[in-house]
């Protein structure tokens, strides 16, 4: 069956159901329901008697109570919210802060409205009224937010969910037991606190549009039992550092897919130690009909390399610093426009490039590989600057590396005789357009079965304006400053170690790069022709 975003009526019903336990418990407490009242009084009497006979135990619970204060739980939420804000998950951060504030305010509201006296005799000092338990409410909200809602929305793996869920659930039990053991609150006060926490989490989660990020895995069949066709399924591979507000992003992508008849997508996040290879393999194993990839050029490269020759269409959602493949495939940089153009677009076979070199495993790239100055510029661009000002950080790095030394290289195209040049940089391109629409390789096409090579070799800093003019005006004249070549296989060997890059990712210094075109290796989702 297809899973669609909940309707307004469905969301309202969910909020009502989330508030139902709180409503029932509060009515029973206010109405002095005899069975509940007897349970409260008998539990309080046993706690008071046991505490009077075991002062050392009371001392332990008082220490516990000082640790699991409501402000401790709220502080944890604020710290996590600050971390999410730093990771640019702004919607989630605001949701956490809103939830913490709602808990603080509503606990005081319930205490003022119900005005329930605390049990006597209390074994620890406590001010104010007892219903609802502030300790229990704060701990429940913290546990539910960090142990249930957040892992579900972010799509954490099961073992990581348990790793977080078990400790926070323990905190809820400890904080609640502490209140009863010290006889400062009744059992129903704690139950009311849990119910209030559930109501708050339900209301704020629905209000912020938070939904589970991972879909149910289901074996693919040609049709369901009733003869209807199974909806197509998409996998979305996301670099969470590049995407920013992950919750808003997920909501937009899920909605865009749903209105076009897709089932709930499989959400896969890249990791520091894996830019997307394992995620792409999971998308293949899941028999996805479409893979959307959102991240920097490095993430896009790794995912496209893993999906080569699979026949699964790949849609590139611009989210990084360069977005070079998206730019060259004419995909808009705005998220809403990009989703519309990709999902309403067409499929196009494009080339990939197999590459290897010294100290480099055989790999693939989709955009460009370089050796020399361009790789030094990419390596020298500070990550924090790229995050703040985008691709213009490369201009800052270019200014620092303007005097990058030239190097002697040997260039071999297909089966031709090698040629030697002293160069500043050599770039091998599958596409030709850089940021700001700079045509580095104006004749390059992603589906022409050819590699385009540019050799840039100004001897002095004063000659760089000539090179830039040649690039911007797409001049095809060849001279000592700038040469262009084409071929199906390119081998570059430098006299000394120099910096190298693949699709904007530094791959470390070395002396060689060998690139060979793989015609039509990738099925890309691109905008329709106008």
Q: What is the pLDDT of residue 229?
A: 63
Phi and psi of 130, rounded to 5°?
A: -100, -25
Q: Among 172, 207, 242, which residue terminates a domain?
A: 207
Give the residue from 314, 336, 352 where a domain finishes: 352
Q: Same structural domain for residues 87 and 179?
A: yes
Q: Which residue has the higher pLDDT, 20 or 479?
A: 20
Res 220 pLDDT > 80: no
pTM above threshold 0.85: no
Regarding whether 17 and 166 lie in a shared domain, the answer is: yes
Q: Which domain holds residue 369?
A: 360-517
Q: Tell me: the pLDDT tens digits for 160-215?
A: 778 888 999 999 999 999 999 999 999 999 999 999 999 999 999 888 877 654 33
Q: Are 430 and 516 in contact (CB under 8 A)?
A: no
**What pLDDT does residue 385 have?**
57
Do the domain assignments include residue 223? no
Do the Cβ atoms of 418 and 357 come closer than 8 Å?
A: no
Q: For 26-51, what is the mean pLDDT?
A: 94
Asked if residue 434 and residue 393 are part of one domain, the reply reads yes
- DSSP code string of 214-243: SPPP----SB-TTSPBPPP-EEEEE-HHHH
Residue 466: is it exposed, middle or buried by C-beta count within 10 angstroms (0-12/13-18/19+)?
middle
Kindly report, residue by residue over 460-471, the tens digit of the pLDDT. 776 767 777 777
In whole angstroms, give the CA distance from residue 16 to residue 443.
61
Residues 24 and 166 in one domain: yes
Give the residue-averaged pLDDT of 475-482.
68
User: Is residue 528 in a domain?
Assistant: no
User: Do both 338 and 369 map to the same domain?
Assistant: no
Per DSSP, 392 falls in state: G
Determine the average pLDDT of the residues in 329-351. 90
Residue 405 in any domain: the answer is yes
177 and 251 belong to one structural domain: no
Is there a single domain that holds both residue 203 and residue 258? no
Asked whether residue 214 is assigned to any structural domain, the reply reads: no
Distances (CA, A) of 74 to 21, 146, 173, 204, 299: 23, 12, 17, 16, 36
184 and 276 fall within a common domain: no
Residue 218 falls within a domain, yes or no?
no
CATH of the domain at 484: 2.60.200.40
Bridge-based pairing of strands 266-269 and 234-238 is parallel
- pLDDT, position 309: 92
User: Token pair of 500, please?
Assistant: 């190298």
My answer on whether 401 and 310 are in the same domain is no
Same domain, 66 and 201: yes
Burial degree of 405 (CB within 10 A; 0-12, 13-18, 19+): exposed
In a domain, 386, yes or no: yes
Domain boundary among 302, 317, 352: 352
CA–CA separation, 193 and 13 (whole Å): 21
Per-residue tokens: 442: 């104006």
For residue 483, pLDDT over 70 is answered with yes
Residue 225 clears pLDDT 60, i.e. is over it: no
Both 201 and 324 in one domain: the answer is no
Q: Does residue 303 have a pLDDT over 90? A: yes
Look at residue 527 in the predicted model and tell me its pLDDT: 92
In a domain, 307, yes or no: yes
Would residue 165 count as lying in a domain? yes
Same domain, 158 and 304: no
Q: Is the pLDDT of residue 256 over 80?
A: yes
Average pLDDT over residues 65-71: 91
Q: Compute how many other C-beta atoms are within 10 angstroms of the C-beta atom of residue 423.
A: 23
The count of domains in the chain is 3
- What pLDDT does 216 receive? 38
Pair of tokens at residue 127:
């001010």
């Amino acid at each position: 069956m297809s899973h669609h975003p909940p309707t307004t009526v469905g969301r309202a019903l969910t909020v009502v159901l989330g508030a139902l336990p709180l409503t029932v418990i509060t009515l029973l407490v206010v109405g002095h329901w005899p069975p509940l009242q007897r349970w409260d009084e008998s539990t309080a009497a046993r706690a008071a008697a046991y505490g009077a006979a075991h002062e050392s135990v009371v001392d332990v619970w008082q220490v516990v109570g000082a640790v699991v204060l409501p402000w401790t739980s709220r502080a944890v939420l604020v710290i996590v919210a600050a971390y999410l804000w730093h990771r640019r998950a702004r919607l989630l951060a605001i949701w956490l802060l809103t939830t913490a504030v709602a808990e603080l305010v509503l606990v005081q509201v319930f205490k003022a409205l119900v005005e329930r006296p605390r049990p006597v005799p209390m074994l620890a000092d406590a001010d104010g009224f007892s219903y609802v338990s502030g300790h229990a409410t704060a701990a429940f909200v913290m546990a539910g937010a960090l142990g249930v809602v957040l892992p579900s929305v972010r799509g954490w793996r099961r073992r990581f969910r348990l790793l977080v869920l078990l400790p926070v659930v323990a905190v809820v039990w400890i904080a609640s037991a502490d209140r009863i053991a010290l006889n400062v609150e009744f059992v129903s006060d704690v139950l009311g606190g849990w119910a209030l926490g559930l109501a708050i989490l339900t209301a704020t989660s629905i209000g912020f549009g938070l939904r589970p990020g991972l879909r149910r895995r289901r074996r693919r069949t040609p049709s369901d039992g009733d003869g209807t066709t199974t909806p197509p399924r998409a996998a979305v591979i996301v670099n969470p550092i590049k995407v920013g507000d992950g919750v808003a992003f997920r909501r937009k992508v899920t909605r865009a897919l749903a209105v076009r008849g897709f089932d709930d997508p499989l959400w896969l996040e890249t990791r520091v130690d894996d830019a997307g290879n394992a995620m792409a393999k999971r998308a293949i194993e899941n028999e996805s009909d479409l893979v959307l990839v959102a991240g920097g050029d490095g993430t896009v490269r790794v995912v496209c390399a893993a999906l080569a020759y699979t026949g699964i269409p790949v849609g590139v959602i611009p989210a990084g610093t360069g977005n070079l493949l998206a730019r060259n495939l004419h995909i808009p940089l705005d998220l809403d426009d990009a989703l519309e153009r990709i999902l309403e677009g067409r499929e196009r076979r494009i080339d990939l490039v197999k590459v290897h070199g010294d100290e480099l495993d055989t790999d693939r790239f989709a955009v460009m590989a370089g050796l020399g100055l361009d790789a030094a510029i990419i390596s020298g661009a500070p990550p924090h600057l790229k995050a703040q000002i985008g691709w213009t950080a490369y201009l800052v790095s270019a200014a620092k590396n303007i005097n990058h030394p030239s190097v002697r290289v040997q260039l071999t195209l297909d089966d031709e005789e090698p040629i030697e040049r002293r160069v500043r940089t050599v770039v091998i391109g599958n596409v030709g357009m850089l940021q700001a629409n700079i045509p580095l390789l104006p004749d390059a096409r992603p589906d022409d079965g050819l590699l385009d090579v540019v050799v840039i070799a100004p001897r002095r800093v004063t000659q760089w304006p000539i090179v830039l003019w040649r690039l911007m005006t797409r001049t095809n004249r060849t001279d000592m400053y700038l040469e262009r070549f084409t071929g199906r296989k390119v081998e570059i060997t430098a006299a000394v170690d120099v910096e190298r890059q693949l699709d904007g990712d530094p791959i470390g210094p070395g002396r060689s790069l060998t690139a060979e075109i793989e015609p039509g290796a990738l099925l890309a989702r691109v905008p329709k022709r106008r």
